[in-house]
Amino acid sequence: MLVTLLATITGANLFTEPYLLTGGGGPDGASTSPVFLMYQKGILQGNPDVAAALGVVLVIGVLLIALIQKRLVGGKED
């Protein structure tokens, strides 16, 4: 369960690969991740309020996915 949870969190925080490999999300934003979108909105476009809102949505989304994974994968605790 820990491995799937950490893989989900790592996947949601993907920034370096799209930034370095595509230089801006690739053709038509095909490789844009949520964290890369936060960077674009907050730093490049000068909208820190939108970037903060995206960050809150990302945290809530990862928490919901973690809770669902805990229910599905988590075993019976003694």
Q: What is the pLDDT of residue 77?
A: 61
End-to-end CA distance of the chain: 16
Q: What is the pLDDT of residue 31?
A: 84
What global pTM score does this model have? 0.76
The span from the CA of 53 to the CA of 20, in Å, is 25
Per-residue pLDDT tens for 40-62? 999 999 999 999 999 999 999 98
